[in-house]
Amino acid sequence: MSITRAELAMMGAKAVGATITLVTTTGFADDSEIPAWARSAIFSIKELGILKGRSHNIFAPQATATRAEAITLIMNLIQAK
């Protein structure tokens, strides 16, 4: 089963207990492609340094999350706790 990067970001934000406040922009170049339900979570974990975008300031929210991205998220969550 695969998940999108937006879904991965939401799980990461919930796992770290990030304060999810409504934001209108994440600062990523492809912000218009980020679903409204994931925008605040993506912004929060970006600010916490838990998950970053891909090259050229692209988040790629609909792209399938790679195993490496999932492991990076888990390792960053462990460090944040």
Angle (nearest 5°) at CA 1 between 68 and 28: 50
pLDDT in tens, the chain (81 residues): 899 999 999 999 999 988 778 888 899 999 999 999 999 999 999 999 999 999 999 999 999 999 999 999 999 999 987
Q: What is the DSSP letter of 30?
A: T
Amino acid letter, residue 80:
A
The closest alpha carbon to 73, from 31, 42, 32, belongs to: 42
Q: Tell me what pLDDT residue 19 has.
A: 77
Distance separating alpha carbons of residues 81 and 70, to the nearest angstrom = 17
For residue 75, the model assigns a pLDDT of 95
Determine the pLDDT at residue 18.
81
In this prediction the pTM is 0.89
Which pLDDT score is estimated for 22? 85
